């Protein structure tokens, strides 16, 4: 890729650059920058580097300073006073200043190395300062360093400047490649001019305000006046009200017969209005060279009524017959005439009445960051800084360094440009803003800025730095400089160059002294306008259609600057300006500051020098078996770059016993490394250190032996040079004599034979008597009146489970000597074999023992209790459970043998039984049991007072005899009596027969005095002729029943005489 020769751009045959080793002043965009001073015959000293400058105004010619704002202060003073309202400081190694050009941050990069800095900016004296990091640009002016990474947190701006990629040739002098450039991103156009009309975006709501020629509806206010010399608000695409939310605007049109306007909206959509002769409105509107579209139409990306609208619109450029749109994602869309392939879609594509997507592949696969539309040609900057153009090329406006005339067949790179940030185009020329504020132009006419009026087929550098933005009219161009002033060049026949004169041309950039300090500049046709930091617009040049919107006379222009007048109907309108990095507000009003970044690149020739005090030989005492850790810091100095010191072995180094050489190198990365050595001797002169020995040991033991084994933990020992072995005598576990004191000595020995010793004593004493362990007291159940016989295989006589230990519980159990006495204190007979007899009551067994050394144990005893604790056995039951027949109404006495009750005890024998009924003791042989169930509770208590569990027996006395019945007869004898009856008439077949229920069948019962009698059939029933049997049933209260019968004889009444 071709790059122009220069400090940052090597060619195949690089030019020689020899700069004296003297302080130099770099004049960049009107701001002097002092390069690093260099020592005679030596490298450059620490040099200042990158400049960062905030949006502010710089001093300019007196004629500019005399232009007054409405408040009566010069616009330059308005901007300069911002510095006094803030406080600022830079981090170590960087500097920051503030003047009429804003903030200037300077950082140093040694031969393209990465660097970093911070700037703190805060308000003072009642003012506040707000930072907007979104405007900071990753690109810098320096080709030696990499991209800038910015961050804003609170009141602090942080910069991390990446290292360069090394593709730029080596550094040759102390300030090689130093530069100053804007730290903020190029802004999109918020003011745009054509030959005959102008438009600006309003700050408050994004409304588009236009004035000038309206013959084709390019003012967009939905009205038909041929021109407007006052500002008019663009209408909505439909309905009442005005268009708002515009973010970028473009105005196009030649002296007559053409004119249209386009704008990007906050929604990402785009609108256009005016002439649509070849589809330049990109809205699928009818094509007509004379018809006008007087209100905005939405830009679409395909043909048809339902075509989708353009999305993501970020910038727009237009010329008289085509329009170029740029999206936030870097896509390019074009519409309008393609007669010279200016749409970038190919000759065969033809005109487009909608926004057609330019294939990204035609731009080398890169995303676009800026677009421009010239007369029959187009250009685009892509994200790697290259510029592509295509279309008409009669005077080299495509910048391809070729004399070829006519149209280009496709997008092609502009020769040599690799650091462009934006591009603009006039009728037959184009200019690119480059990193570091440089401006390069190419094409035809004086607007190329190279002092000639011929065809410039490759870019020439018009400005070497300091430009913030660039704009193009028909035949002239202007750049807004970092000091807020303007530089213009090219045709000046209407005074559009802002220098106060009407001239045919100015061949090279010159100060536009008529224009005030500004933050926005726009050129179009033969007019140039600027917008200052307060949002006020001032213009110079042509005003034939009222495009300046000035006071009377309304359609006159010239070299004198005139302010745009805002009609009262539009209120307190200000024109949009790019958002500043620093917005200052407070009682003193509002102002804003931008920032520039100065990168001072310096070179390094002198190698580092070791600090001799860090290279001394040293002796270290070993700290472990591995030797010693050698910690050292070897330093070196360098007058330019902090050197990197590396040693082998590196610190901290683990070194074994012996002598070692440490080899060190120091390198600044640019000169040859330097080397040095020193010695480290590791020695061991320290004996081992004995750890804590055990305390003196005294053991009271119980053993029949004359020696006793003692185990202890030997002490440990440490040694600086490794492990130390420890030996003790007597050793752990050795047999120590009883009733004596023995000295134990422990000795530690290291690998070098150095020793350390320590001692302690062991004493063994035996004065412990045996320990008798008796069983717990126990009870034995009596088996007779004499007592009980007891045996337990686990506790045989004569000790009955008692044992003793001589030497502790972990020794064998021995049998003590035991004897027993009875409850009366008399000795019980010795029992050598179970079972053993114990009398009733509590007997005491006493045991004694002594060890072989005459230590007698204290006697121990336990109790054996013989007692009768068992209740007698009690039995009780009724004979078969059958009821007893009642002898009368009062019940019955139980017959002999009816109840069987018995109680007996193993010790006491037979035990008397007690019977109770309802808690009252009774004699069961004479007690009269009532009819019904009676519960009898029986109990028994033996001689020892043991009570048997009570038993219950139920005695049932019942009425078991049925009543007796006597049937009263009517003259008949026998068991069956007959009642005779006749019918009422001779012909009746039945008769009602009655009798006296009380006397017919009489019942009697020994228990129930009134048994019931039931007749069936009952008295008063209808009986048929002949005999009918009637039963009478007598039932007592207990349900016992007796049945008797009698007959009823019914005869016809032959005498017709009722009975």
**Domain 873-958 belongs to what architecture?**
Sandwich (2.60)
3-state secondary structure of 937: strand
Domain boundaries, the chain: 25-71+82-182, 185-358, 609-683, 689-765, 771-867, 873-958, 964-1051
Average pLDDT of the residues in 470-487: 95
pLDDT at residue 10 greater than cutoff 70? no
Q: What distance in Å separates the CA atoms of residue 170 and residue 923, rounded to the nearest whole number?
A: 140
Average pLDDT of the residues in 31-49: 30
Q: How far is CA 893 from CA 172, 389, 855, 899, 1009, in A?
A: 148, 143, 80, 12, 21
Q: What distance in Å separates the CA atoms of residue 680 and residue 658, rounded to the nearest whole number?
A: 8
Tokens (6 digits) for 682? 């590791």
Q: What distance in Å separates the CA atoms of residue 310 and residue 126, rounded to the nearest whole number?
A: 46
Q: What distance in Å separates the CA atoms of residue 627 and residue 721, rounded to the nearest whole number?
A: 6
Whether the link from the prior residue into 798 is cis, omega within 30° of 0, is yes
- 364: closest CA among 326, 331, 411? 411
Name the more confident of 347 and 191. 191
Whether the link from the prior residue into 835 is cis, omega within 30° of 0, is yes
Name the more confident of 422 and 903. 422
Q: What distance in Å separates the CA atoms of residue 99 and residue 77, rounded to the nearest whole number?
A: 11
Residue 176, pLDDT score: 60
Q: What tens digit of pLDDT does each residue of 278-324 get?
A: 999 999 999 998 888 999 999 999 999 899 999 999 999 999 999 99
**What secondary structure letter does DSSP report for 730?**
S
Do 324 and 317 meet the contact criterion of CB atoms below 8 Å apart? yes
Q: What tens digit of pLDDT does each residue of 987-1007 get?
A: 889 999 998 988 889 998 888
Per the listing, tokens 């190919």 go with 346
Pairing of strands 313-319, 322-327: antiparallel
**What secondary structure letter does DSSP report for 135?**
G
Residue 74, pLDDT score: 39
Q: For residue 182, what pLDDT band results from cuts at 50, 70 and 90?
A: confident
Do 444 and 429 meet the contact criterion of CB atoms below 8 Å apart? yes
pLDDT at residue 797 greater than cutoff 50? yes
- 993: closest CA among 1010, 1014, 979? 979
Q: What distance in Å separates the CA atoms of residue 194 and residue 237, rounded to the nearest whole number?
A: 22
Q: For residue 810, what pLDDT band results from cuts at 50, 70 and 90?
A: low
Q: For residue 406, what pLDDT band results from cuts at 50, 70 and 90?
A: confident
Q: Which of 535-539, 617-621, 970-974 has the lowest mean pLDDT?
A: 970-974
Residue 51, pLDDT score: 27
Q: How far is CA 395 from CA 342, 389, 430, 509, 848, in A?
A: 15, 13, 11, 21, 138
List beta partners, residue 288.
276
User: Global pTM?
Assistant: 0.56
689-765, CATH topology level? Immunoglobulin-like (2.60.40)
Task: Return phi, psi of residue 207, to 5°.
Answer: -70, 150
Q: What distance in Å separates the CA atoms of residue 117 and residue 132, rounded to the nearest whole number?
A: 17
Q: For residue 880, what pLDDT band results from cuts at 50, 70 and 90?
A: low
Q: What distance in Å separates the CA atoms of residue 429 and residue 425, rounded to the nearest whole number?
A: 6
Does domain 185-358 sit in CATH 2.130.10.30? Answer: yes
Average pLDDT of the residues in 703-717: 88
Residue 401, pLDDT score: 92
- 38: closest CA among 180, 142, 171, 181? 171
How far is C-alpha 940 from the geometric centre of its chain's CA atoms?
85
Q: What distance in Å separates the CA atoms of residue 98 and residue 55, rounded to the nearest whole number?
A: 10
- 831: closest CA among 783, 864, 782? 864
- 1022: closest CA among 1048, 993, 1055? 993
- 156: closest CA among 203, 80, 105, 110? 105
pLDDT at residue 22 greater than cutoff 80? no
CATH code of the domain occupying 964-1051: 2.60.40.10
pLDDT at residue 469 greater than cutoff 70? yes
Residue 25, pLDDT score: 29
Q: What distance in Å separates the CA atoms of residue 932 and residue 955, rounded to the nearest whole number?
A: 8
* b/e code 489-516 from CB counts within 10 Å (16+ = b): bbbbebbbbbbbeeeebbeebbbbbbbb
Do 740 and 698 meet the contact criterion of CB atoms below 8 Å apart? no
Residue 235, pLDDT score: 97
Q: What distance in Å separates the CA atoms of residue 756 and residue 415, rounded to the nearest whole number?
A: 87
Q: What distance in Å separates the CA atoms of residue 443 and residue 1031, rounded to the nearest whole number?
A: 153
Strands across the sheet with 527-531, in order? Answer: 520-524, 527-531, 537-541, 558-563
3-state secondary structure of 85: helix
Burial of 124 (0-12, 13-18, 19+ CB in 10 A): middle
- 956: closest CA among 1020, 899, 1022? 899
Q: What distance in Å separates the CA atoms of residue 594 and residue 533, rounded to the nearest whole number?
A: 11
Residue 333, pLDDT score: 98
DSSP secondary structure string for all residues of 136-163: B-S--S-SSS--EEEEEETTEEEEEEPP
Task: Return phi, psi of residue 568, to 5°.
Answer: -60, -30
List beta partners, residue 422.
433
Tokens (6 digits) for 334? 């074009």
Average pLDDT of the residues in 580-605: 87
pLDDT at residue 73 greater than cutoff 90? no
- 545: closest CA among 562, 523, 527? 527
Do 241 and 227 meet the contact criterion of CB atoms below 8 Å apart? no
Residue 809, pLDDT score: 60
Q: What tens digit of pLDDT does each residue of 1014-1054 get?
A: 999 999 999 999 999 999 999 988 889 999 998 989 999 87
3-state secondary structure of 577: coil
Task: Return phi, psi of residue 613, to 5°.
Answer: -65, -15
Q: For residue 42, what pLDDT band results from cuts at 50, 70 and 90?
A: very low
609-683 and 689-765 share one CATH topology? Answer: yes
Pick the CATH number of 609-683 from 2.60.40.10, 3.40.640.10, 3.20.20.70, 3.90.650.10: 2.60.40.10
3-state secondary structure of 435: helix
List beta partners, residue 1037.
none
pLDDT at residue 15 greater than cutoff 60? no
Q: How far is CA 28 from CA 141, 144, 181, 735, 965, in A?
A: 11, 17, 9, 100, 155
DSSP secondary structure string for all residues of 882-927: PPEEPSBTTBEEPPTTSEEEEEEETTTEE--EEEEETTEE--TTT-
Q: For residue 2, what pLDDT band results from cuts at 50, 70 and 90?
A: very low
Q: Which of 2-11, 634-643, 921-930 has the lowest mean pLDDT?
A: 2-11
Q: What distance in Å separates the CA atoms of residue 456 and residue 434, rounded to the nearest whole number?
A: 18
Q: What distance in Å separates the CA atoms of residue 971 and residue 968, rounded to the nearest whole number?
A: 9
Name the more confident of 718 and 542. 542
Q: For residue 901, what pLDDT band results from cuts at 50, 70 and 90?
A: confident
Do 71 and 561 meet the contact criterion of CB atoms below 8 Å apart? no
Per the listing, tokens 């005439």 go with 337
Residue 451, pLDDT score: 82
pLDDT at residue 4 greater than cutoff 60? no
Q: What tens digit of pLDDT does each residue of 74-87 get?
A: 344 445 688 999 99
Q: What is the CA radius of gyration of the chain?
A: 65
pLDDT at residue 59 greater than cutoff 60? no
Q: What distance in Å separates the CA atoms of residue 21 and residue 40, rounded to the nearest whole number?
A: 7
Q: What tens digit of pLDDT does each residue of 666-700 get?
A: 998 778 899 999 999 999 888 999 888 899 999 98
Among 118-127, 762-771, 947-956, 1048-1057, top mean pLDDT goes to 118-127
CA dihedral of residues 1010, 1016, 1022, 1028 (deg, nearest 10): -120
Mean pLDDT over each residue of the chain, to the nearest integer = 86
- 391: closest CA among 342, 345, 320, 346? 342
Tokens (6 digits) for 225? 């006046």
pLDDT at residue 611 greater than cutoff 50? yes
Share of the chain above pLDDT 90, in %: 53
List beta partners, residue 191.
200
């Amino acid at each position: 890729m071709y790059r122009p020769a220069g400090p940052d751009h090597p060619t195949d045959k690089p030019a020689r650059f020899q700069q004296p080793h003297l302080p130099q002043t770099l004049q960049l965009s009107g701001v002097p920058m002092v390069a690093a001073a260099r020592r005679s015959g030596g490298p450059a000293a620490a040099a200042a580097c990158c400049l960062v400058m905030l949006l502010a105004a710089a001093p300019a010619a007196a004629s500019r300073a005399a232009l007054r704002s409405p408040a009566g202060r010069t616009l330059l003073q308005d901007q300069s006073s911002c510095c006094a309202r803030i406080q600022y400081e830079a981090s170590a190694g960087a500097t920051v200043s503030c003047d009429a050009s804003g903030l200037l941050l300077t950082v140093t990069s040694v031969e393209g190395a990465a660097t970093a800095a911070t700037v703190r900016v805060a308000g003072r004296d009642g003012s506040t300062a707000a930072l907007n990091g979104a405007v900071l640009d990753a690109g810098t002016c320096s080709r030696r360093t990499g991209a800038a990474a910015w961050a804003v947190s609170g009141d602090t701006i942080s910069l991390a400047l990446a290292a360069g990629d090394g593709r730029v040739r080596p550094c040759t002098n102390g300030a090689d490649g130093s530069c100053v450039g804007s730290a903020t991103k190029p802004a999109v156009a918020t003011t745009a001019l054509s030959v005959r009309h102008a438009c600006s975006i309003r700050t408050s709501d994004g409304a588009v305000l236009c004035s000038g020629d309206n013959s084709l509806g390019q003012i967009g206010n939905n009205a038909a006046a041929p021109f407007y010399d006052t500002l008019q608000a663009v209408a909505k695409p439909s309905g009442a009200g005005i268009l708002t939310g515009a973010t970028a605007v473009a105005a196009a049109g030649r002296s007559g017969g053409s004119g249209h306007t386009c704008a990007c909206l906050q929604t990402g959509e785009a609108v256009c209005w005016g002439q649509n002769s070849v589809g330049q409105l990109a809205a699928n509107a009818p094509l007509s060279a004379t018809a006008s579209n007087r209100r905005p139409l939405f830009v679409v990306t395909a043909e048809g009524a339902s075509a989708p609208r353009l999305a993501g619109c970020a910038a727009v450029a237009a010329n008289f017959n085509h329009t170029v749109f740029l999206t936030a994602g870097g896509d390019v869309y074009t519409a309008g005439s393609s007669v010279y392939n200016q749409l970038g879609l190919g000759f065969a594509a033809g005109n487009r009445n909608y926004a057609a997507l330019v294939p990204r592949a035609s731009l080398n696969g890169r995303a676009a960051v800026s677009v421009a539309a010239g007369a029959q040609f187009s250009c685009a900057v892509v994200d790697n800084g290259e510029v592509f153009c295509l279309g008409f090329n009669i005077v080299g406006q495509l910048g391809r360094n070729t004399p070829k005339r006519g149209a280009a067949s496709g997008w092609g790179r502009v020769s040599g440009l690799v650091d462009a940030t934006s591009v603009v185009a006039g009728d037959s020329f184009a200019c690119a803003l480059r990193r570091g504020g440089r401006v390069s132009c190419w094409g035809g006419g004086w607007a190329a800025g190279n002092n000639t009026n011929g065809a410039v087929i490759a870019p020439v550098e018009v400005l070497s730095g300091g430009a913030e933005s660039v704009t193009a009219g028909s035949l002239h161009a202007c750049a807004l400089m970092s000091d807020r002033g303007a530089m213009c060049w090219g045709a000046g026949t209407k005074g559009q160059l802002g220098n106060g004169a009407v001239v045919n041309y100015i061949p090279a950039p010159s100060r536009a002294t008529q224009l005030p300090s500004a933050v926005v500049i726009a050129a179009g046709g033969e007019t140039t306008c600027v917008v200052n930091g307060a949002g006020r617009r001032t213009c110079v040049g042509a005003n034939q259609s009222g495009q300046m919107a000035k006071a009377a006379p309304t359609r006159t222009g010239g070299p004198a600057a005139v302010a745009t007048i805002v009609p009262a109907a539009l209120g307190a309108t200000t024109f949009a300006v790019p958002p500043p990095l620093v917005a200052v507000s407070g009682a003193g009003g509002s102002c804003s500051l931008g920032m520039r970044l100065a990168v001072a690149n310096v070179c390094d020739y002198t190698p580092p020098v070791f600090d001799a005090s860090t290279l001394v030989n040293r002796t270290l005492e070993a700290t472990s078996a591995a030797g010693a850790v050698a910690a050292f810091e070897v330093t070196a100095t360098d007058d330019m770059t902090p050197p990197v010191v590396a040693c082998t072995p590196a610190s901290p180094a683990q070194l074994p016993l012996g002598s070692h050489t440490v080899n060190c190198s120091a390198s600044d990365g640019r000169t040859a490394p330097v080397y040095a050595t020193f010695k480290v001797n590791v020695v061991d002169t320290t004996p081992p250190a004995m750890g804590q020995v055990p305390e003196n040991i005294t053991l009271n033991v119980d053993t029949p032996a004359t020696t006793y084994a003692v185990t202890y933990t030997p002490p440990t020992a440490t040694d600086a040079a490794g492990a130390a072995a420890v030996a003790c005598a007597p050793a752990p576990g050795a047999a120590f004599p009883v009733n004596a004191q023995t000295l134990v000595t422990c000795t530690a020995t290291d690998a070098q034979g150095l020793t350390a010793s320590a001692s302690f004593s062991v004493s063994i004493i035996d004065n412990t008597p045996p320990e008798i362990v008796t069983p717990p007291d126990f009870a034995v159940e009596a088996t007779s009146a004499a007592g009980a016989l007891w045996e337990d295989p686990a506790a045989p006589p004569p000790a009955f489970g008692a044992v003793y230990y001589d030497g502790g519980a972990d020794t064998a159990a021995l049998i003590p000597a035991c004897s027993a006495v009875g409850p009366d204190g008399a000795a019980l007979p010795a029992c050598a074999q179970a079972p053993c007899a114990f009398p009733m009551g509590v007997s005491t067994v006493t045991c004694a023992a002594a060890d072989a050394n005459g230590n007698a144990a204290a006697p121990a005893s336990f109790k054996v209790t013989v007692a009768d604790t068992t209740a007698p056995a009690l039995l009780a039951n009724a004979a078969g459970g059958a009821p007893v027949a009642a002898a009368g109404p009062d019940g019955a006495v139980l017959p002999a043998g009816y109840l069987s009750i018995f109680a007996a005890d193993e010790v006491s024998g037979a035990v008397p039984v007690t019977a109770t009924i309802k808690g009252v003791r009774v004699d069961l042989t004479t007690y009269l049991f009532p009819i019904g169930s009676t519960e009898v509770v029986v109990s028994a208590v033996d001689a020892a007072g043991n009570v048997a569990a009570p038993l219950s027996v139920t005695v049932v006395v019942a009425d078991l005899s049925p009543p007796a019945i006597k049937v009263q007869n009517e003259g008949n004898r026998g068991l069956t009596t007959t009642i005779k009856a006749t019918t009422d008439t001779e012909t009746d077949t039945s008769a009602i027969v009655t009798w006296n229920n009380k006397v017919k069948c009489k019942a009697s019962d020994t228990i129930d005095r009134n048994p019931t009698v039931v007749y069936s059939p009952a008295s008063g029933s209808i009986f048929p002729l002949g005999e009918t049997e009637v039963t009478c049933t007598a039932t007592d209260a207990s349900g016992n029943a007796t049945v008797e019968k009698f007959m009823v004889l019914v005869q016809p009444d032959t005498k017709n005489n009722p009975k």
